[in-house]
């Protein structure tokens, strides 16, 4: 059974980059008919590496669940669940840890980036780094391998996670027999993989340049008006292919709308007008989902029911995988 899997960590401040870079492409893949089984999970255990407030943690989980549902994930066809509801993922993570060289973790981007930043700041290289962060790739490998995943959609900066999972699976198959674990492949998300923020850098909470996904219309408009522009006069012609506003606009507008606004750029356009046009297409796209998101956040029992149903389906797959893996690895 050909299987695709993706997950997203619930850490708050959901923004347009999450929608365009991960959520929308993943939902489109689930509708493609290419896969017999599609799994989407909330990576709540991964959030424990940074989130320390249990109330915020719970809120983040509900927000990301409501986001996927509001944006159109068909939970009657896709398996949508909370990572930590399937306890076998932690059992498998320990088994995989025992099969993973420490050097692989030393080379993991998540760890190396933190070490490099500590060195640049003149701190001890491991300051602030917990074992959850260090072992992050192993748990992520367990997320992938537990469900016999064939394909994992990722951006270019996340390819290493799938490579590590594939390497671990290959090592287990070499030791314990072919077919112990399915060796996954990455699907590189090209369109929408890099989403610019207000300042032109990649949209990220760490840069403080995000456009919130579920902001009110008033706040959304105010945020879009903060997009960085130059000081050219409204009557000056502008290049639509070298403009941050236009770059985001193309991700939401129809081809006719894009052609029309590009023409306005070449004739001369004020930045205020361009930002207003961007707000209109983004708000039109989000207005329906925003209403559904707000409804779900007021009726969390409906989210609970969806996640429990998804967990029961994911559990059936996990049980089957772990029976095979336990017998291969331990003989029992």
Q: Is 292 one of the annotated active-site residues of the chain?
A: no
Closest among 18, 11, 90, 13 to 57, alpha carbons compared: 11
Q: What is the rounded distance in angstroms from the CA atom of residue 274 to the CA atom of residue 283?
A: 14
DSSP string, 67-104: HHHHTT--TTTSEEEEGGG-THHHHHHHHHHTTS-HHH
Q: What is the rounded distance in angstroms from the CA atom of residue 198 to the CA atom of residue 16?
A: 11
b (16+ CB within 10 A) / e for 150-170? bbbbbbeebebbbbbbbbbbe
HEC sequence for 204-235:
CHHHCCCCECCCCHHHHHHHHCCCCCCCCCCC
Q: What is the rounded distance in angstroms from the CA atom of residue 134 to the CA atom of residue 2?
A: 31
Q: How many residues does the chain have?
A: 332
Q: Is 205 one of the annotated active-site residues of the chain?
A: yes
Q: Which of 202, 292, 300, 313 is catalytic?
A: 202
Q: Which of 2, 117, 119, 259 is catalytic?
A: 119
Q: Give start and end residues of each alpha helix (H) in the chain.
A: 16-18, 24-30, 44-47, 54-70, 88-97, 102-106, 109-120, 131-134, 136-145, 159-176, 217-224, 244-249, 255-267, 271-298, 300-330
Q: What is the rounded distance in angstroms from the CA atom of residue 137 to the CA atom of residue 97?
A: 10
Closest among 314, 311, 248 to 275, alpha carbons compared: 248
Which two tokens mark 193?
A: 């993989």
Which two tokens mark 209?
A: 């340049």
Q: Is 297 exposed, middle or buried (0-12, 13-18, 19+ CB in 10 A)?
A: middle
Q: Which of 31, 58, 205, 292 is catalytic?
A: 205
Q: Is 119 one of the annotated active-site residues of the chain?
A: yes
Whether the CB-CB separation of 157 and 122 falls below 8 Å is answered with: no
Active site amino acids: 119, 202, 205
């Amino acid at each position: 059974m050909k299987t695709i899997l993706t997950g997203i960590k619930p850490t708050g401040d959901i923004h347009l980059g999450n929608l365009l870079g991960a959520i929308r492409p993943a939902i489109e893949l689930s509708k493609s008919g290419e896969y017999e089984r599609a799994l989407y999970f909330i990576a709540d255990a991964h959030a424990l590496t940074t989130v320390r407030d249990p109330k915020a943690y719970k809120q983040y989980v509900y927000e990301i669940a409501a986001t996927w549902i509001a944006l159109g994930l068909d939970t009657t066809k896709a398996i949508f669940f909370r990572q930590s509801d399937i306890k076998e993922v932690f059992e498998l993570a320990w088994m995989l840890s025992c099969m993973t060289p420490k050097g692989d973790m030393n080379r993991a981007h998540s760890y190396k980036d933190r070490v490099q930043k500590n060195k640049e700041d003149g701190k001890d290289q491991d300051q602030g780094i917990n074992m959850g962060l260090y072992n992050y790739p192993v748990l992520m490998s367990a997320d992938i391998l537990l469900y016999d995943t064939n394909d994992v959609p990722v951006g270019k900066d996340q390819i290493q996670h799938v490579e590590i999972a594939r390497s671990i699976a290959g090592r287990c198959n070499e030791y314990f027999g072919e077919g112990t674990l399915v060796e996954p492949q990455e699907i590189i998300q090209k369109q929408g993989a890099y989403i610019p923020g207000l300042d032109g850098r990649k949209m990220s909470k760490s840069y403080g340049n995000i456009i919130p996904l579920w902001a009110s219309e008033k706040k959304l408009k105010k945020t879009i008006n903060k997009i960085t522009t130059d000081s050219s006069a409204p009557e000056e012609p502008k290049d639509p292919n070298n403009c941050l506003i236009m770059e985001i606009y193309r991700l939401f507008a129809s081809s006719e709308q894009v052609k029309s606004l590009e023409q306005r750029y070449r004739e001369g356009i004020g930045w205020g007008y361009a930002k207003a046009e961007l707000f209109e297409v983004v708000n039109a796209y989000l207005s329906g989902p925003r209403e559904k998101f707000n409804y779900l956040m007021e009726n969390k029992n409906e989210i609970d029911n969806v996640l429990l149903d998804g967990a029961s389906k994911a559990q059936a797959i996990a049980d089957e995988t772990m029976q095979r893996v336990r017998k291969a690895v331990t003989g029992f």
